[in-house]
Amino acid sequence: MRDALRERLLSEAAVHAKTHPADLDRALGEGMSTVRRRLVRTWVVVIVAAVLVTAGLVAVRVLLDQPRVVLESIAVSAPASSLHPEAILQLSAEASYTDGTRRPLQEGVEWASDNLAVAAITADGQATAVAPGVAGLTATVDGVSGRFELKVTTPGTASLTALRITPGDAETSPGGKIPLVAEGTYSDGSLGRLNVTAIWGSHDPGIATVDGDGLVTAANPGTATISASQDGFEATARITVNTAPPAKLSGLAIDPAELTIKQGQTHQLTAVASYTDGTTKPEPNVTWSTGNPKVATISASGLLTAQGLGQVLIEAKHVDTDGKEWKAQSKVTVEHAVIAVVVSPAGPHALEPGATVQLTATVKYSDGKPGNPVIAWASSRRIVATVSNGLVRGALQGQAIITATVDGVSSNGVVVSVGPTLPTQGPVKG
């Protein structure tokens, strides 16, 4: 170390000697001062770094030595420990930790009942009494459980000491329904549900009404006081009926959504608007359009006219008050239409009672192609002659006219005379 220092001093001295050749001692002194300052700065940096590393190691050690806080136990509590059947009780759970702290448990709690025949419990800790007996209700988090023993008893000789309605305050809109619960406290500390036995009433029936089981139905905006009374006790709840927000358009549809129609026929389509309050009504302010006017055309009022065979989409478009565009479609199928029905042989025909003659109906379509018609045969006087699938059978003496109808189009009328009387009338158009 000394040799290295000596060499650095001599080097610095040489530099200064060249600068100040007349003063070698001064040059040597200045060189030594420069080296000392550099050495001091180097050692300061080293010491500071060492201090910082040591402090970091100490902090890590402290953190590692810090004891871990874990859940130690759970306490389950409720306003009462005894219920009558059908009564409801809200349980709560509080956690205790190894560092001595406590806090209520809101989420992540698994609630369970070890006797569902006595009491059931929901996922949020609401217990419902079912039948007399004892049930253990538990709350579990991370494998740690707390237990609450609930007794379900019959009213017995205990007397009613207090009455309350839950919820005590509630809000809804006109038409809304709110179920209220009348809960009684008895002299033995038990709780009972009194919805059926209590006398319910509304102080403001124009705003809200209540039935015999505590179900409130809102009518008009305002605040209504609902009461329940039993054994000289009365409890009240305040129901606020808010003004319903204006209904907004929530959807658009075409009635019918699908239609099969014959060529040349017409049909009125209707645009139907749905609203956020659940209502629907026809929407006249729509723009109608057709995907193929050669198949079907649509008027400004929604009157569809079938033009040619095939399928086409009919669209209705509406722009609401907010500027939002709504669209709906209807799928229309156009089939060929019956243009004529001809029954042959045209007659007239003379039959004896019980004798038959076979008639045939030929159906002509708008596109000139064959179809699968459903033919409806008819006789003007069934007492004289009957007809089934074109087979005419004579019955009593007289004259009848036979016709065939397909899709509302009727054929020519064929005269059939039964008995010795000769037919006097030629073919008749039905």
Report the alpha-carbon distance of residue 34 to residue 90 in Å, rounded. Answer: 82
Residue with tokens 């650095």: 8
What is the pLDDT at residue 428? 45
Alpha-carbon Rg for the chain, nearest whole angstrom, is 49
> How many residues appear in the chain?
430
249 contacts 273 by C-beta, under 8 angstroms: yes
Closest CA to 69 of 105, 108, 97: 97
Residues 184-198: what's their mean pLDDT?
91
Judging by beta carbons within 10 Å of its beta carbon (0-12, 13-18, 19+), is residue 268 exposed, middle or buried?
exposed
pLDDT tens by residue, 228-243:
999 999 999 999 999 9
In the predicted structure, residue 402 carries a pLDDT above the cut 70: yes
- Tell me the two tokens of residue 379: 């006789």
CA–chain centroid gap for 280, Å, is 18
pLDDT tens by residue, 160-187:
999 999 999 999 989 899 999 999 999 9
Q: Is the pTM of this model over 0.75?
A: no
What is the pLDDT at residue 11? 63
In the predicted structure, residue 398 carries a pLDDT above the cut 70: yes
Residues 57-66: what's their mean pLDDT?
58
What is the pLDDT at residue 368? 84
In the chain, the N- to C-terminal Cα span, in Å, equals 136
pLDDT tens by residue, 96-111:
998 989 989 888 899 9
359 contacts 344 by C-beta, under 8 angstroms: yes
138 contacts 161 by C-beta, under 8 angstroms: no
In the predicted structure, residue 66 carries a pLDDT above the cut 80: no
The per-residue pLDDT of the chain, averaged, comes to 86
255 contacts 269 by C-beta, under 8 angstroms: yes
What is the pLDDT at residue 104? 92
pLDDT band at 44 (very low <50, low <70, confident <90, very high): low
392 contacts 418 by C-beta, under 8 angstroms: no
The packing angle between helices 2-19 and 24-65, to 10°, is: 140
pLDDT band at 278 (very low <50, low <70, confident <90, very high): confident
In the predicted structure, residue 53 carries a pLDDT above the cut 80: no
Closest CA to 74 of 106, 44, 48: 106
In the predicted structure, residue 48 carries a pLDDT above the cut 70: no
> Which one-letter DSSP state was computed for residue 3?
H
What is the pLDDT at residue 430? 40
DSSP sequence for 23-92 = -HHHHHHHHHHHHHHHHHHHHHHHHHHHHHHHHHHHHHHHHHHSPPP-EEEEEEE-S-SEE-TT-EEE-E
| β-sheet with 160-166: strand ranges across | 110-113, 133-141, 144-152, 82-83, 191-193, 181-186, 160-166
pLDDT tens by residue, 1-27:
445 545 665 565 555 555 555 454 554
Angle at 289 between CA 286 and CA 291, to 5 degrees: 150
In the predicted structure, residue 95 carries a pLDDT above the cut 70: yes
In the predicted structure, residue 427 carries a pLDDT above the cut 50: no
- Tell me the two tokens of residue 268: 């009125």
Residues 6+ apart with CB under 8 A from 157: none
φ, ψ (nearest 5 deg) of residue 35: -65, -40
Report the alpha-carbon distance of residue 216 to residue 237 in Å, rounded. Answer: 11
